[in-house]
Amino acid sequence: QVQLVESGGGLVQPGGSLRLSCAASGSGFSINAMGWYRQAPGKERELVAAITSRGRINYADSVKVRFTISRDNAKNTIYLQMNSLKPEDTAVYYCNANLVDRRGYTMLYWGKGSLVTVSS
């Protein structure tokens, strides 16, 4: 059984920083890619940033320069460093993992979500 455990959300003032982490626990899988999505109230879930097993990175235009995604392969963990936060970054941030099991099947997993609130 694979689980994605997120941490690091909270309340921060505009211009501040937060760091999210997401660890994939379990066994019998390899990681194709992991990433972060977010969903603000009344809006659709959108990709924030993603990183593949080969290190290819993709960012949403709205967070380029301000956010940085990184990974620790030994820990099956990714991080999202969020700087210069704006009120419009307020959302629930979800970790996503694209994994391959021992049989070669691709599986998608989602974390439970971490609330990030940017407000003065």
Q: What is the pLDDT of residues 16-28, one digit of tens each?
A: 999 999 999 988 8
- pLDDT score, position 83: 98
- pLDDT score, position 28: 87
- pLDDT score, position 68: 98
Q: Which two tokens stand for residue 2?
A: 């694979």
- pLDDT score, position 111: 96
Average pLDDT in the 76-95 region?
97
User: Which residues, including other chains, have CB under 8 Å from residue 81's CB and lie 6 or more apart?
Assistant: 17, 19, 67, 68, 69, 70
Average pLDDT in the 78-86 region?
98
- pLDDT score, position 20: 98
Q: How many CB atoms lie within 10 A of CB 64?
A: 10
- pLDDT score, position 64: 95
Q: Which two tokens stand for residue 109?
A: 């997993």
| Residue scoring higher pLDDT (116 or 102) | 116
- pLDDT score, position 85: 98
Q: Which two tokens stand for residue 84?
A: 């210069």
Give the pLDDT band of residue 71 (cuts 50, 70, 90): very high
